Amino acid sequence: MTSQSPPKRDSTYYTESGESCIFQAENCLFRIHRYHIERWPSVLKAMLSLEKDVGDNPTIPVEGRSDDNPIICEDTAENFRALCWILYASPKEICIAHLGDVRRLVALASITHKYEFTDLEDWVLELLGDKVPDDKLTAISVDRLETLLFITIQTQHSALAVKIKDIMVGVIGQSQDPLCTLATVIPIAERTADGAFQAKLYHAYLRAEVWRGGSPSQIADAGTTVSLNNIRSPFGYELLRLSGLTENQRLKLYCGYCSLMLLRMRLQKCPQDLKTWELDDWWVAEISRCTDGMYDDPGKLLEEMSARLLDWTLEYGSEQGSRATRSVRSARGRKSSVCYDTLAELESALDKDLAERFMCS
């Protein structure tokens, strides 16, 4: 049995001067000036106050006064180093913090939350929400995003919570293994009790794996039975295995999948509002142009139709000609407006009831 090597002093945050206190995080020692801790209300400040109360009693060994008897903190050295950074940071470093190491900011959010450095916690959460670009947060590991998400929920930083949820949804589409990523993040969403968040994750998975527009994962023959272990599209007949998900998760995914496919079938028919404007032919023509497998997703279909409608409007809006031509253009403009409104209403309704589609009673 090998003995653990003695802790080493941190190369940056181990001061040799002034009234200080020694902390140990993992196998690293930090010696911090008491002033930097005591100027902020926190759990650590309260700990140092208790240490002062017993400090005059020579029979009681006081933690934090030597390397042999440090205050043990159940933190990673990285997290504690992040705390030291903010305690010693210069005004310039603070002003440009969002341009630096985002991983350090996430670590700082975690440790300031744990030790109730409320002012510092609010500052770093607002910084992550307002100034740090999404692409930098996307590079953070899922477990760190999970920690940050629950901190934002507990502290009611709702804008940052939404930002993190959107990043997690996007991670599925960028993953080389969407199913494995879904199996990792969906339990996180379940712990938030946010049905809309869960639905967006399931939907993102379907977009990435089932409705991706490429070749299917596995071709099923006509006799393949649809079960909770695989799903088959009535449009593309893709067979997709769902190992890694619980039975309840597979059920929710399958229910949402079937519900969205039924919606997709209903969208084959022109909405009544457009029939009033005799736009049946336009609707059918646009639907028939969306033949790629990605448009089995009703959301993607509506997005594509809206984009094409914009191109159609710009094309006719730029025409020059006689009064009759302008009259035709004006009529088309009114019809375009009706189409826009209808598509917008359909997209809004889909987004609003997406959670219900994936929640099975």
Per-residue pLDDT tens digits for 59-99 = 556 788 899 999 999 999 999 999 999 999 999 999 988 88
- Write the pLDDT tens digit of every residue in 237-280: 343 567 789 989 998 998 999 899 999 999 999 998 888 888 88
Q: Are both 354 and 262 inside the same structural domain?
A: yes
Q: Are both 143 and 249 inside the same structural domain?
A: no
> Concatenated DSSP letters for 214-261?
S--SSBPPTTPPPBTTEEE-TTT-BEEE-TTS-HHHHHHHHHHHHHHH
Q: Are both 68 and 99 inside the same structural domain?
A: no
Q: Are both 236 and 139 inside the same structural domain?
A: no
223 domain residue, yes or no: no
Three-state secondary structure call for residue 204? helix
229/54 Cα distance (integer angstroms): 63
Mean pLDDT (the chain) is 84
Q: How far is CA 162 from the centre of its chain?
A: 7
Q: Are both 53 and 153 inside the same structural domain?
A: no
179 domain residue, yes or no: no
Q: Are both 263 and 323 inside the same structural domain?
A: yes
Q: Are both 249 and 349 inside the same structural domain?
A: yes
Q: Are both 38 and 134 inside the same structural domain?
A: no
Three-state secondary structure call for residue 278? coil
290 domain residue, yes or no: yes
pLDDT reading at 357 higher than 70: yes
Given 3-state DSSP classes, what are the helix, strand and coil percentages for the chain, each rounded to the nearest 5? Answer: 60, 10, 30
Determine which of 34-43, 44-53, 344-353 has the lowest per-residue pLDDT on average: 44-53
Q: Is 141 exposed, middle or buried (0-12, 13-18, 19+ CB in 10 A)?
A: exposed
When comparing pLDDT for 62 and 179, which is higher? 179
325 domain residue, yes or no: yes
Q: Are both 63 and 93 inside the same structural domain?
A: no
119 domain residue, yes or no: yes
> Considering 49, 76, 103, which residue would you say is the last residue of a domain?
76
310/299 Cα distance (integer angstroms): 17
pLDDT band per the 50, 70, 90 thresholds, residue 15: very high
222 domain residue, yes or no: no
208 domain residue, yes or no: no
> Concatenated DSSP letters for 128-164?
HHHTS-HHHHHTS-HHHHHHHHHHHHHTT-HHHHHHH
Dihedral sign of CA atoms 193, 199, 200, 201 in order: positive
Q: Are both 261 and 169 inside the same structural domain?
A: no
Region 122-151 average pLDDT = 93
pLDDT for 234 equals 42
pLDDT for 325 equals 44
Q: Number of folded domains in the chain?
A: 3
Range of the domain at 43: 1-76
Q: Return the structure tokens found at 207.
A: 């977009």
Q: Are both 240 and 354 inside the same structural domain?
A: yes
51/93 Cα distance (integer angstroms): 32
180 domain residue, yes or no: no
- Write the pLDDT tens digit of every residue in 273-298: 888 888 888 898 889 888 888 888 99
